[in-house]
């Protein structure tokens, strides 16, 4: 599931399972029910600092809430960090994970032979990716580890923290900005939302837009130009000089937006320097 490719396609990585369980149909559905996602397993990438802060700020210590998401109902969290203080026993192995923002105790139960092999592969000082469930016992938070994997491509470390930032932004800003669909977000914090919820906004505003507050980004404007009926009719696509002229922006700025749209698969280059949208009118 996790691929360390250098091209990180945010749209593909975050849709269809993984961090944010989104429905594969892209149609805008204003009648959104949060209960649809009750069975969807959400996975939150977190830093130890985020867990610590959530723990400090929640009044009810048994219900941990991170960015408005009830972590106890979110079945899994994922962390990347350095393993320290490993203690191996017959039935389980415990260690401390230090991700640079803090340290958290982790516990992995050994139930099968494969688990024991994994446990032997856990060495102090190595970087690892963990998936697990946060558990609290007598006021102490530990991570019950389901999956442990050593990090081999160290870009995964930067990637994980960038994902933590993205997901934090998603939960705090993008979800708040659509209050009609999020019927819980603006109400009392006692009923937090359960995991990620699909956005009713079309993907072009969500992923290719660089601004979250609803203003049109360069990419949205490029798409608008390509969607003009007269431009859609062009078989060879719209020349980039024309797009730049229409929008009144520099070619450099335009190429940055075009490159990002191509990477997301929203537009393509039909003939040299001519672009067409892949979105049907």
Sites of contact with another protein (CB under 8 A) = 6, 47-53, 55, 82, 100-105, 125, 127, 140-141, 153-155, 157-159, 161-162, 164-165, 168
**Long-range contacts, stretch 185-190, CB < 8 angstroms, 24+ apart:** 185/68, 189/65, 189/68
Rounded to a whole number of angstroms, the minimum distance from the CB of residue 153 to another protein is 7
Q: Which residues of 93-106 are buried (b: 16+ CB within 10 A; e: fewer)?
A: bebbbbbebebbeb
Rounded to an integer, what distance in angstroms lies between the CA atom of residue 259 and that of residue 212?
Answer: 20
Interacting residues of 98 by C-beta distance below 8 A, sequence separation 6+: 48, 81, 82, 84
In the complex, least distance from residue 169 CB atom to another protein, rounded to whole angstroms: 8
* Token pair recorded at residue 275: 């672009």
CB of 109 to another protein, least distance (A): 20
The distance of closest approach from Cβ of residue 102 to another protein in the complex, given in angstroms and rounded to an integer, is 3
Q: Mention every residue, 6+ apart, whose C-beta is less than 8 A from residue 230.
A: none
Q: Which one, 6 or 31, has the nearer CB to another protein?
A: 6
For residue 119, give the H/E element and its range.
Answer: helix 113-121
Question: Least distance (Å) from another protein to the CB of residue 99?
Answer: 9
Measured from the CB atom, is 51 or 65 closer to another protein? Answer: 51
Between 9 and 224, name the residue whose CB sits nearer to another protein. 9
* CB nearer another protein, residue 108 or residue 240: 108
> CB-wise, 19 or 55, nearer to another protein?
55
Is the Cβ of residue 151 or residue 221 nearer to another protein in the bound state?
151
Please tell me the number of Cα atoms within 13 Å of 228 on its side-chain side.
13
Which has the closest alpha carbon to 44: 10, 77, 80? 77
Cβ at position 50, least distance to another protein in Å: 6
Encoding tokens for residue 53? 């802060």
């Amino acid at each position: 599931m996790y691929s360390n490719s250098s091209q990180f396609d945010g749209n593909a990585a975050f849709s269809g399972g993984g961090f944010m369980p989104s429905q594969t149909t892209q149609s805008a559905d204003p009648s959104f029910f949060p209960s649809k996602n009750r069975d969807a397993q959400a996975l939150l990438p977190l830093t130890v600092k985020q867990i610590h802060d959530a723990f400090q700020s929640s009044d009810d210590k048994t219900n941990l809430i991170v960015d408005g998401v009830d972590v106890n109902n979110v079945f899994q969290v994922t962390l990347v960090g350095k393993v320290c203080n490993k203690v191996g026993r017959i039935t389980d192995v415990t260690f401390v994970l230090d991700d640079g923002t803090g340290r958290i105790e982790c516990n992995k139960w050994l139930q099968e032979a494969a688990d024991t092999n994994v446990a032997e592969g856990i060495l102090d000082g190595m970087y690892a990716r963990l998936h697990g469930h946060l558990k609290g016992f007598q006021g102490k938070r530990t991570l019950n580890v389901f999956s442990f994997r050593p990090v081999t491509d160290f870009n995964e470390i930067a990637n994980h923290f960038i994902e933590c930032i993205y997901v934090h932004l998603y939960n705090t800003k993008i979800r708040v900005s659509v209050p009609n669909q999020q019927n819980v977000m603006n109400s009392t914090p006692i009923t937090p939302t359960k995991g990620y919820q699909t956005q009713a906004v079309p993907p072009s505003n969500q992923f290719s837009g660089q601004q979250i507050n609803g203003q049109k980004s360069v990419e949205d404007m490029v798409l608008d130009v390509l969607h003009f009926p007269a431009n859609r009719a062009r078989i060879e696509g719209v020349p980039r000089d024309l797009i730049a002229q229409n929008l009144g922006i520099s070619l450099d700025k335009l190429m940055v937006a075009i490159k990002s749209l191509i990477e997301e698969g929203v537009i393509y280059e039909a003939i040299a320097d001519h672009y067409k949208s892949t979105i049907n009118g």
